[in-house]
């Protein structure tokens, strides 16, 4: 955000306001130097991912959509058999068609261990094609957004960038504060060839996008490699990964819900319960017929019949049991948070072992899930999407104007670090305040220590 020289800032008692201004400016510069490339990347990819459904519907229309037919759809088992005939492997999960013009999606682990999504016309039992699991265009954008393509260290950099973005906004607001000025507060002065133009554009853009930037940084944190994992444990305690109060008085396995595929953030660490073959498997729950059994366990069609009677939102997925004690897991995460749901079924009796809804999350889990839903553009429909795109565009402009302002100010052959304040106590005061943010976000704190060392021994020694 904005910078000016400290000559316009009056001197007060104690630490001079000019020294404090320079100290804040210096740390704002360092924060921008560290995170501007990441912020621009997150804004560009995030602005695209907001329209994930539209993107995939356009790029993969021949896979995801079919012509509606007057004839009834084939049995689920027949669609899976068609998929496995075309792509040999092991069935992992199955997503029935959500509407009359949607294809069914069959999740298969191929013979080489690769995870694939095979799309099947439900009316004609015809395989339409396949993609690597999560390999759609929107899925690729999401992995680019989170830097999953580049490993854990890169994802840690995203966590650092999100934390520093919050500190960047705080220091930027201080630098923007009018202090009796009128120009450059909500208006842009000068022309594009002048540094003043870029300074004002940076300041004004920053102050208007500040709240959105902080919100996006905070609501993106739950996915981070360190802070997110700790927050998840804090939200759900030690109740097998489920919020406190949810009934989990059933035998639990060591398998986790996210092993089967994407899940709600609050349930990423949730463990799966265990099925129990007590010799009464022929007595099926929920009215299923014994003929629906396969080697003592429910087959797919019987499990789907039970799931259909549970009234899950359209678009749910049924994950297959993993081993003799595994469970069928029906899960759905629609845009409407109230309809988020995960149901675990005993693979032998069809009994509901655990039925988890958004209303069952703890207060922290509900708040974080709501923030995540807004972050992804799902909470308020098109208005939510448009606001996020506007915030992303403003963030890119903020980064570009900051880079242009620095480029015009930097000395030839130098980095252009803002000058040290005359009163070094100001630098220590600002660094101390930033440490508070480093405590809240440990990776930010570690990067802060590194930057303190560089400022002290490399840059400071040359000024």
Q: Is residue 452 part of a domain?
A: yes
pTM of the model: 0.85
What is the pLDDT, as a whole number, of residue 411? 85
* 154 and 38 part of one domain: yes
* 42 and 67 part of one domain: no
Phi, psi of 294 (to 5 degrees): -135, 105
Which residue, of 361, 380, 410, is where some domain finishes? 361
* 164 and 41 part of one domain: yes
What distances in angstroms separate CA 438 from CA 159, 164, 214, 374, 444, one per listed residue? Answer: 12, 9, 16, 26, 5
376 has a pLDDT exceeding 80: yes
Q: What percent of the chain has pLDDT over 70?
A: 90
> Of the candidates 302, 274, 256, which has an alpha carbon nearest to the alpha carbon of residue 94?
302
Local confidence band at 291 (pLDDT 50, 70, 90 cut-offs): very low
* 282 and 209 part of one domain: no
What is the pLDDT, as a whole number, of residue 54? 96
* 40 and 160 part of one domain: yes
* 190 and 76 part of one domain: no
What is the number of structural domains in the chain? Answer: 3
What average pLDDT does this structure show over 232-248? 74
CATH number at residue 92: 3.10.450
Local confidence band at 353 (pLDDT 50, 70, 90 cut-offs): very high
Q: Tabulate helix, strand, coil % of the chain (nearest 5).
A: 55, 15, 35
* 421 and 331 part of one domain: no
Q: Is residue 107 part of a domain?
A: yes
Local confidence band at 364 (pLDDT 50, 70, 90 cut-offs): confident
220 neighbors 335 (Cβ within 8 angstroms): no
Q: Is residue 184 part of a domain?
A: yes
* 267 and 355 part of one domain: yes
Three-state helix/strand/coil letters over 285-305: HHHCCHHHEECCEECHHHHHH
* 320 and 357 part of one domain: yes
280 has a pLDDT exceeding 50: no
451 neighbors 30 (Cβ within 8 angstroms): yes
What average pLDDT does this structure show over 144-161? 84
What distances in angstroms separate CA 76 from CA 93, 96, 374, one per listed residue? Answer: 12, 8, 34
Q: Is residue 383 part of a domain?
A: no
What is the pLDDT, as a whole number, of residue 279? 60
Phi, psi of 229 (to 5 degrees): -65, -40
**Domain limits for position 274:** 251-361
Average pLDDT, rounded, for the chain: 87
* 157 and 23 part of one domain: yes
- Tell me the H-state helices in 325-441: 363-375, 381-409, 424-440
Q: Is residue 141 part of a domain?
A: no
Q: Is residue 379 part of a domain?
A: no
461 has a pLDDT exceeding 60: no
Which residue, of 341, 361, 381, is where some domain finishes? 361
233 has a pLDDT exceeding 50: yes
What is the pLDDT, as a whole number, of residue 239? 76
The torsion defined by the Cα of 5, 8, 14 and 19, in degrees rounded to 10, comes to 0
What is the pLDDT, as a whole number, of residue 10? 45
Q: Is residue 448 part of a domain?
A: yes
- Tell me the H-state helices in 147-260: 151-176, 195-220, 227-236
* 43 and 110 part of one domain: no
Which residue, of 346, 361, 376, is where some domain finishes? 361
Q: Is residue 237 part of a domain?
A: no
The torsion defined by the Cα of 116, 117, 121 and 123, in degrees rounded to 10, comes to 100
* 70 and 31 part of one domain: no
Q: What does the alpha-carbon distance between residue 169 and residue 176 come to, in Å, rounded to a whole number?
A: 10
Positive or negative, the CA dihedral 29, 34, 37, 39 is negative
Higher pLDDT, 172 or 439: 172
What is the pLDDT, as a whole number, of residue 293? 41
């Amino acid at each position: 955000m904005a910078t000016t020289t400290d000559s316009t800032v009056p001197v007060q008692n104690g630490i001079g306001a000019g020294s404090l201004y320079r100290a804040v400016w210096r740390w704002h510069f360092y924060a921008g130097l560290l995170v501007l490339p990441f912020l621009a990347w997150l804004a560009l990819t995030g602005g695209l991912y907001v329209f994930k459904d539209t993107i995939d519907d356009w790029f993969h229309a021949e896979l995801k959509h079919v012509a509606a037919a007057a004839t009834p759809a084939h049995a689920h088992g027949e669609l899976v058999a068609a998929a496995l005939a075309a792509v040999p492997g092991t069935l992992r999960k199955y997503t029935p068609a959500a509407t009359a013009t949607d294809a069914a999606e069959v999740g298969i682990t191929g013979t080489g261990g690769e995870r694939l999504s095979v799309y099947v016309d439900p009316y004609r039992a015809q395989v339409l094609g396949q993609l690597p699991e999560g390999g759609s265009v929107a899925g690729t954008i999401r992995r680019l957004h989170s830097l999953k393509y580049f490993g854990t260290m890169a994802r840690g950099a995203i966590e650092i960038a999100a934390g520093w973005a919050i500190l960047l906004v705080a220091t930027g607001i201080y630098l923007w504060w009018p202090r009796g000025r009128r120009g450059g507060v909500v208006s842009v002065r000068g022309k594009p060839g002048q540094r003043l133009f870029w300074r004002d554009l940076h300041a004004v853009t920053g102050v208007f996008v500040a709240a959105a930037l902080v919100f996006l940084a905070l609501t993106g944190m739950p996915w981070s490699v360190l802070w997110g994992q700790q927050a998840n444990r804090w939200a759900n305690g030690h109740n097998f990964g489920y919020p406190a109060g949810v009934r989990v008085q059933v035998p639990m396995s060591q398998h986790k819900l996210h092993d089967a595929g994407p899940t709600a953030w609050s349930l990423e660490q949730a463990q799966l319960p265990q099925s129990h073959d007590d010799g009464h498997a022929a007595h099926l729950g929920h009215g299923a017929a014994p003929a629906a059994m396969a080697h003592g366990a429910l087959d797919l069609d019987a499990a789907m019949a039970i799931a259909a009677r549970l009234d899950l939102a359209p678009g749910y997925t049924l994950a297959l049991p993993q081993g003799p004690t595994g469970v069928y897991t029906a899960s759905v995460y629609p845009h409407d948070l109230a309809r988020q749901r995960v149901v675990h079924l005993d693979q032998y009796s069809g009994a509901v072992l655990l039925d988890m809804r958004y209303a069952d999350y703890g207060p922290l889990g509900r708040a974080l899930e709501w923030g995540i839903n807004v972050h992804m553009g799902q909470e308020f429909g098109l208005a939510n999407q448009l606001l996020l795109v506007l915030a992303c565009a403003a963030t890119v402009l903020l980064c570009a104007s900051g880079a242009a302002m620095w480029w015009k100010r930097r000395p030839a052959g130098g980095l252009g670090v803002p000058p040290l304040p005359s009163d070094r106590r100001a630098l220590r005061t600002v660094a101390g305040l930033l440490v508070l943010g480093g405590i809240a976000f440990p990776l930010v704190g570690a990067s802060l220590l590194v930057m303190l060392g560089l400022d002290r021994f490399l840059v400071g020694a040359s000024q």
